[in-house]
């Protein structure tokens, strides 16, 4: 099945039909005065100044002096990028740096035009790179609130806190629709349901930018918003980050495109391109989707920003040069480090006519238009703007109160047997688990650092852990709260709350091969408490639904708390009663994702023909509706099979590691990226190896084979060797007999490798492939499969 998908992924180049996409009327009409001012300015700019507008370096590699020399249009800080590379840079340091960049961009001493620079940052759950900012639940939790007005308010607060530190532009919201929960960015998305994504995106953008047509639009305390990542990032094969989306054009439009409709209806001013591909073609080079669909049919007249060297992945491009991405419609390159070379190459390409002056003018016009709409010339230095330096507005009590409300509304009650919740606070409450007193874990990725790792509670001044919230509510009512991370106790508590779940991750680092949540440590804690007769509440922190049947079974109550952010008190607000015994706050959260019943349900969405979730989209108990959840099956054999027999599927190799000689990696004409090209001359190889050798003797005896999906593009000119362990066979005749350009599965019985000298009881390299000649091919899945017939072995290579 997966193999088939992959075949589809790389075989046909897919056409786009712009007329199938809705024609959108712009909600921000062109202002003739602005358009004229843009034209006037354009006519005074040199080609060098124009090219500089389309370059966005990172503050880690560019200085205000560079900005003064080149007049770049923008800078960014990446996740975990801070002024001076100081992790704890203060809000004042951020503002001072913003002033320096602004001043440099406005310098006219060398005859260049004064054009305010804009600084972009990933404020994806609040102003999340700044110590002391209010951090909200990640989008997956906000989707569960269905409270769109609250989401708008969160956008407003985020814009306010950004303005305090002088940042003009947020790389949010993510409007992806995550369809495979193995994707490491699932938590950055509001829902698997395109309609929820559309509403949430619309309201969040309204909060960041202000309502189009109103006096506040891009005015005081507002920032430029970015809908990202265009398009299809949530629908890649196997949920692989930056992978390939092979859905139809209709699905692209109706599922992955819905958030962009919401964004257009709210006048979003920038869109970021995805590092994923559609049917093998890199989005950064996809002219039909960027120019014909987004700028054409959807009427987008803001500017397009690339994503972190995404242009470098386009066929024939590198991080330092990519006229094709620019010509496809990318208006500004995000080029963290290689800005100098990219600037020079782009300039040369304009001079040589490889990039037309119309295209350059169009890109610069879009950037200037947005800057003028944002009133940046009259706004002055970031510190002089209305909110600049108003530190009382960063992480304020009022802002934290809204974040706390969001926590209350986002958590979803999945199980509450015997009506264990809400808890009377006048009892002895044990709080356990490594997430209990751990604000970093509560916050997830994109928190002070890119991965959200390495944070301690001291890094969150003003924030509250879940434990701290429970303790204060229990103690205020005269009860007794005890923190015991490992769950041990001397006096038996009346009830235990165990907080555990996924550790922080971001982007592909969070990609999973399956959705089974494995955590023996906390499962043991839950079981021990249960065995001791202590009623147990599980509070599960995660960036996605995961298969947790054993944990559900071991708990009387189970709450999906997502990644709630800095205001941990919001949890106690719902879990505990008020002292007089009344319900303090009931649960309001409803799942914005379907929750798996089977460990193999990695793709589980409401529209599936065979939709059998454990809890459907929209599920969420309240204290009013009771329901007893029976004990659930815990069989994982289906997953075990996937794990043991898969060596490399849809780009995932875990637990094996893929090693490819870099010089072999190449891209096909369609912008695909999986073609391997052996230039000949010396022996070069691709291999998969692991740290733990596996024992394949039984499979060898039972007649299993190594199955390799391969498409030959150019037949081998010299012998090709395939090895498993120490056994090597000659597969040249096989490769020569496969028709060029067609996928075939090549099966080599394991006994052939044994006969060639492999010790099948200790295989640490299940796949090694090399030739010294010329050859071009692609691989899809590499698996161990049982075989009914036993073909002859290829000749052995000694």
- Residues at the site binding ligand BGC, with contacts judged by CB under 6 A: 78-81, 122, 171, 228, 307-308, 450, 507
> In angstroms, what is the minimal distance from the CB of 226 to ligand BGC?
8
In angstroms, give the least distance from the CB of 185 to ligand BGC.
Answer: 8
Q: Which H or E run contains 439?
A: helix 439-443
For residues 218 and 375, the answer to whether their CB atoms sit within 8 Å is yes
Burial class (CB in 10 A: 0-12, 13-18, 19+), 791: exposed
Handedness of CA 32, 35, 39, 40 (dihedral sign): positive
Tell me how far apart the alpha carbons of residues 756 and 754 are, in angstroms, rounded to a whole number. 5
CB nearer to ligand BGC: pick between 80 and 479? 80
CB of 126 within 8 A of CB of 403? yes
265 touches 297 (CB < 8 A): no
Separation of CA 505 from chain center: 9
Pick the closer one to ligand BGC by CB: 170 or 770: 170
Task: Quote the tokens at residue 10.
Answer: 């790389």
Per the CB < 8 A criterion, the answer to whether 181 and 545 are in contact is yes
C-beta separation of 108 from 114 below 8 A: yes
- 3 state DSSP class of 140: helix
Smallest distance, ligand BGC to C-beta of residue 308, A: 4
State in angstroms the smallest separation of the CB of 306 from ligand BGC: 10
The token pair at 641 is: 């099979």
Task: Report, in Å, the least distance between residue 158 CB and ligand BGC.
Answer: 14
State the alpha helices, DSSP H only, in 599-708: 637-645, 697-701
Q: Which is nearer to ligand BGC, 170 or 410 (CB)?
A: 170
What is the distance of C-alpha 64 from the center of its chain?
A: 30
Q: For ligand BGC, which is the closer residue by CB, 78 or 463?
A: 78
CA–CA dist 184, 217 (Å, integer): 33
Q: How far is the CB of 313 from ligand BGC (least distance, A)?
A: 12
Residue closer to ligand BGC, measured from CB, 80 or 235: 80
Q: Which is nearer to ligand BGC, 275 or 765 (CB)?
A: 275
**Active-site residue, 726 included:** no
Nearest alpha-carbon partner for 268 in 222, 234, 237:
222
Catalytic residue among 100, 307, 324, 776: 307
Distance in angstroms (rounded) separating the CA atoms of residues 143 and 560: 13
Q: Report which secondary-structure segment, H or E, holds 202.
A: helix 194-209
428: which 2 tokens? 């002895």
DSSP 146: -
Nearest residue (CB) to ligand BGC, 171 versus 593? 171
- Is the distance from CB of 256 to CB of 235 less than 8 angstroms? yes
Q: How far is the CB of 122 from ligand BGC (least distance, A)?
A: 5
User: Which of 122, 202, 502, 507 does the annotation list as catalytic?
Assistant: 507
d(CA 745, CA 791): 13
Looking at beta carbons, which residue is closest to ligand BGC?
78
- Shortest CB 269 distance to ligand BGC, Å: 15
Phi-psi region of 157 (alpha: psi -120 to 50; beta: other; left: phi over 0): alpha
Residue 771's SS3 state is: strand
**Share of the chain residues as helix, strand and coil, in percent rounded to the nearest 5:** 35, 20, 45
C-beta of 305 vs 729, nearer to ligand BGC:
305
State whether residue 368 is helix, strand or coil: helix
Q: Examine the residue annotation and report whether 168 is marked as an active-site residue of this protein.
A: no
User: What is the nearest approach in angstroms of ligand BGC to the Cβ of residue 75?
Assistant: 12
Q: Which are the catalytic amino acids?
A: 307, 507
């Amino acid at each position: 099945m997966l193999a088939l998908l992959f075949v589809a992924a790389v075989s046909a180049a897919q056409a786009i039909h712009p007329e199938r996409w809705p024609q959108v009327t712009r909600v921000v009409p062109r202002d003739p005065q602005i358009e004229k001012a843009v034209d006037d300015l354009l006519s005074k700019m040199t080609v060098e100044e124009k090219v500089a507008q389309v370059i966005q370096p990172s503050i880690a590699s560019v200085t205000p002096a560079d900005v003064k020399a080149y007049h770049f249009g923008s800078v960014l800080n990446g996740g975990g990028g801070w002024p001076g590379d100081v992790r704890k840079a203060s809000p004042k340091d951020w503002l001072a740096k913003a002033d320096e960049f602004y001043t440099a961009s406005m310098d006219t001493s060398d005859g260049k035009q004064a054009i305010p620079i804009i600084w972009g940052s990933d404020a994806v759950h609040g102003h999340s790179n700044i110590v002391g900012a209010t951090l909200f639940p990640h989008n997956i939790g906000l989707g569960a609130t269905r409270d769109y007005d609250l989401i708008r308010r969160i956008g407003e607060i985020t814009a306010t806190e950004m303005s305090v530190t002088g940042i003009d532009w947020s790389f949010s919201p993510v409007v992806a629709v995550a369809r495979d929960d193995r994707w490491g960015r699932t938590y950055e998305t509001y829902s698997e349901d395109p309609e929820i994504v559309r509403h949430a995106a619309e309201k969040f953008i309204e909060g960041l930018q202000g309502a189009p047509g109103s006096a506040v639009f891009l005015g005081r305390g507002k920032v430029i918003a970015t809908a990202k990542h265009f398009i299809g990032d949530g629908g890649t094969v196997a949920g692989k980050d930056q992978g390939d989306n092979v859905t139809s054009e209709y699905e692209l439009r109706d599922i992955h495109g819905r958030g962009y409709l919401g964004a257009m209806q709210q006048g979003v001013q920038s869109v970021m391109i995805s590092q994923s591909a559609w049917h093998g073609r890199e989005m950064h080079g996809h002219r039909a989707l960027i120019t014909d669909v987004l700028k054409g049919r959807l009427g987008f007249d803001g500017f397009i920003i690339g994503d972190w060297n995404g242009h470098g992945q386009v066929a024939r491009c590198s991080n330092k040069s990519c006229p094709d991405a620019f010509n496809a419609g990318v208006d500004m390159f995000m080029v963290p480090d290689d800005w100098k070379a990219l600037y020079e190459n782009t300039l040369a390409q304009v001079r040589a006519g490889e990039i037309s002056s119309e295209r350059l003018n169009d890109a610069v016009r879009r950037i200037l238009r947005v800057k003028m709409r944002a009133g940046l010339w009259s706004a002055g230095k970031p510190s002089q703007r209305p909110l600049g330096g108003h530190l009382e507005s960063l992480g304020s009590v009022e802002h934290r109160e809204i974040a706390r409300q969001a926590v209350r509304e986002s958590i979803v009650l999945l199980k509450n047997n015997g009506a264990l919740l809400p808890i009377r606070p006048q009892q002895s409450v044990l709080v356990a688990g490594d997430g209990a007193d751990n604000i970093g874990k509560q916050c997830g990725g994109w928190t002070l650092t890119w991965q959200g790792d390495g944070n301690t509670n001291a890094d969150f001044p003003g924030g509250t852990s879940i434990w701290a919230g429970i303790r204060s509510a229990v103690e205020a009512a005269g009860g007794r709260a005890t923190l015991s991370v490992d769950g041990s106790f001397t006096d038996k508590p009346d009830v235990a709350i165990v907080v555990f779940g996924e550790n922080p991750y971001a982007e592909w680092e969070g990609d999973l091969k399956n959705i089974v949540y494995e955590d023996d440590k906390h499962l043991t804690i839950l079981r021990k408490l249960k065995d001791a007769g202590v009623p147990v509440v599980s509070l599960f922190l995660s960036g996605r639904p995961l298969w947790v049947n054993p944990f559900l079974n071991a708990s009387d109550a189970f709450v999906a708390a997502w990644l709630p952010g800095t205001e941990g008190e919001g949890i106690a607000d719902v879990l505990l009663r008020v002292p007089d015994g009344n319900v303090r706050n009931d649960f309001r959260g409803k799942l914005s994702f379907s929750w798996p019943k089977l460990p193999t349900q990695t793709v589980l969405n409401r529209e599936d023909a065979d939709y059998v979730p454990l809890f459907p989209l929209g599920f969420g108990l309240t204290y009013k509706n009771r329901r007893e959840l029976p004990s659930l099956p815990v069989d994982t054999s289906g997953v075990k099979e996937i794990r043991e027999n898969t060596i490399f599927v849809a780009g995932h190799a875990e637990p094996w590691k893929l090693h490819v000689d870099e010089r072999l990696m190449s891209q096909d004409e369609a912008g695909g990226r999986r073609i391997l090209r052996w230039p000949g001359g010396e022996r070069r190889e691709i291999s998969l190896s692991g740290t733990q050798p596996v024992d394949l003797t039984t499979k060898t005896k039972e007649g299993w084979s190594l199955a390799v999906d391969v498409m030959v593009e150019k037949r081998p000119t010299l012998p090709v060797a395939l090895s498993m362990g120490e056994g090597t066979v000659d597969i040249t005749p096989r490769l020569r007999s496969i028709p060029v350009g067609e996928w075939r599965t090549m099966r080599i019985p394991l006994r052939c490798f044994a006969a060639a000298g492999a010790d099948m009881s200790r295989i640490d390299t299940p796949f090694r492939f090399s030739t010294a000649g010329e050859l071009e091919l692609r691989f899809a899945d590499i698996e161990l499969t049982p075989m009914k017939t036993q073909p002859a072995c290829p000749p052995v290579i000694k």
